[in-house]
Chains A and B, each alone.
Chain A
Amino acid sequence: MNVTVLVSTRKGLFRLAGKNGNWAIEQVDFLGDNVTLTLTDHRSGRHYAALDHGHFGVKLHRSTTTGWEEVAAPAYPPKPAGVEENDMWGRPLAWSTARIWALQAGGADEPGVIWCGTLPGGLFRSTDHGDSWEIVRSLWDHPKRKQWMGGGADLPGIHSILVDPRNSKRVWVAVSTGGIWFTEDSGASWSQRGDGMRAEYAPPELTHDPIAQDVHCLAQCLAAPERMWVQHHNGIFVSSDEGATFNEIAGVEPSTFGFAVVVHPREPDTAWFVPETKDEKRIPRDGRVVVTRTRDGGKSFDILTNGLPQRDAYDIVYRHAMAIDASGNRLAFGSTTGGLWVSEDQGDSWSGVTHTLPPIHAVRFA
């Protein structure tokens, strides 16, 4: 069986191909350019690649039968005259796409719909496969949106978008930092979710405020959408009620700090994380890259090391840089130092594909 993984890096989009357990880079697109994220829309078969050209701004490309074409990147509407809004540093907030941080296809019943999360916090929706975009004003204009803050970046951003597989009008987004937001009317109105999370970096009166939560990544079990997993700035949290409430999973070795989380598509109790020494250092503990896996909803975790570097390794795995395929058996992740690993047995063993890619932003099964 042929499997393709799209690896977004600081210096290009690398296409990893796997056949009968052998993995190799078979193609490079946008070589030299900063590719920050991809989406494969399985409804249309098209791939999308977000690029950040720095000087020239954020761009979006869509695959064709022969290559790629540039399509419109989400753009903020004109800032109305007289509107003054500063970021958390007191600087005027630019209504301008600073990064594409989330791309998600809509439901099977709404072909052409694509959601896009950005820095500085705008959520966009396309109904024409990305030919055009419209900002979701109900969320951008929500008075509490101005309480969102930067987390990992100077500006707040939407990094996770989940579309309910049972009803595509129901969508969750997660913000770093700004917690989890939910719509059940395709974005016409929004409510905050995420009671039970805890922000140890916030003052006591805000510790349990859902808007103060720095969700690093939000993942959902496709077969049991009520089950959600959060890799948070200071821990792991799990929800069994569609993100309304969360319970903290504490005491996981070697750490509960990290960025990425993936959940098995059919087994809601099974999830994977890539732990790092919290928060001040952000390196693997003792120079060992490990993946942690729970199969019982967080009661216990396996520390998976087979095939992963166990000394002198300082790989960091960003929030979009781990992925699981539809089978639930195959996982892949990539690191800031250009390491790329694949497992075909749910993480029991890993194959190191390369250690020399540019810094990896995102890994996605195509």
Chain B
Amino acid sequence: MAKVVFTKNIQRHVVCPETEVPGSSVREILDNVFTANPQARSYVLDDQAALRRHMTIFVDGRAIRDRQRLSDSITSTSTVYVFQALSGG
């Protein structure tokens, strides 16, 4: 089970508690998170289910590379941070 942590700033719009979910890719991880918390989906992903332009995701300290398909790998011990990118102002 990977641990998923959301930015504090999202919490006043939609509550996204720290959680642990199964999955071998960022896509699988997020799908599992959003199945349980559907309102949060559009806060992180755009209409095409790509990562929003000014959001960023770190897996074990590395920013993910595939922002469209979210194919970056996850292990059972991974920690995933869903953060705002500073580029968004």
Q: Are B47 and A96 in contact (CB-based, < 8 A)? A: yes
State A76–B47 Cα separation when bound (angstroms). Answer: 6
State A53–B11 Cα separation when bound (angstroms). Answer: 13
Write the nearest CB–CB distance from A81 to chain B, whole angstroms.
11
Within 8 A of B (CB), among A115-164: none
The binding surface of chain A is classed by DSSP as loop
State A328–B19 Cα separation when bound (angstroms). Answer: 55
Which residues on B sit within 8 Å (CB–CB) of A59? 13, 42
A311 proximal to B (CB < 8 A): no
Complex partner residue of B48 from A53, A70, A73, A95, CB under 8 angstroms: A95
Which residues on A sit within 8 Å (CB–CB) of B84? 55
Q: Are B39 and A70 in contact (CB-based, < 8 A)? A: yes
Contact-size category for A? 10 to 19
State A71–B44 Cα separation when bound (angstroms). Answer: 16
Q: How many residues belonging to B are interface residues under a CB distance threshold of 8 Å?
A: 18
Which residues on B sit within 8 Å (CB–CB) of A304? none
Which residues on B sit within 8 Å (CB–CB) of A79? 48
Which residues on A sit within 8 Å (CB–CB) of B88? 54-55
A78 proximal to B (CB < 8 A): yes
What string of 1s and 0s marks CB contacts (under 8 Å) between A61-76 and chain B?
0000000001001011
Write the nearest CB–CB distance from A53 to chain B, whole angstroms.
7
Q: Are A94 and B54 in contact (CB-based, < 8 A)? A: no
Which residues on B sit within 8 Å (CB–CB) of A95? 47-48
Q: Are A55 and B85 in contact (CB-based, < 8 A)? A: yes
A97 proximal to B (CB < 8 A): yes
B70 proximal to A (CB < 8 A): no
B61 proximal to A (CB < 8 A): no
Q: Are A53 and B55 in contact (CB-based, < 8 A)? A: no
A21 proximal to B (CB < 8 A): no
Question: Given A54-B54, A55-B52, A96–B46 Cβ distance below 8 Å?
Answer: yes
Least CB separation from B88: chain A residue: A55
Q: Are A57 and B48 in contact (CB-based, < 8 A)? A: no
Q: Are B47 and A56 in contact (CB-based, < 8 A)? A: no
Write the nearest CB–CB distance from B30 to chain A, whole angstroms.
14
Complex partner residue of A56 from B13, B48, B50, B89, CB under 8 angstroms: B13
Within 8 A of B (CB), among A80-96: 94-96
Within 8 A of B (CB), among A93-108: 94-97
Q: Are B43 and A56 in contact (CB-based, < 8 A)? A: yes
State A78–B50 Cα separation when bound (angstroms). Answer: 11
Q: Are A57 and B43 in contact (CB-based, < 8 A)? A: yes
Question: Given A75-B47, A96-B46, A96-B47, A56–B39 Cβ distance below 8 Å?
Answer: no
Question: Given A55-B55, A55-B84, A96–B42 Cβ distance below 8 Å?
Answer: no
State A164–B39 Cα separation when bound (angstroms). Answer: 35
Write the nearest CB–CB distance from B67 to chain A, whole angstroms.
12
What string of 1s and 0s marks CB contacts (under 8 Å) between B57-85 and chain A?
00000000000000000000000000011
Q: Are B10 and A76 in contact (CB-based, < 8 A)? A: no
Write the nearest CB–CB distance from B11 to chain A, whole angstroms.
11
Complex partner residue of A53 from B13, B39, B46, CB under 8 angstroms: B13
CB<8 Å pairs between A and B, sample of 6 = A55-B9, A55-B84, A57-B52, A76-B47, A77-B47, A78-B48
Residues of B within 8 A of A (CB): 9-10, 13, 39, 42-44, 46-48, 50, 52, 54-55, 84-85, 88-89
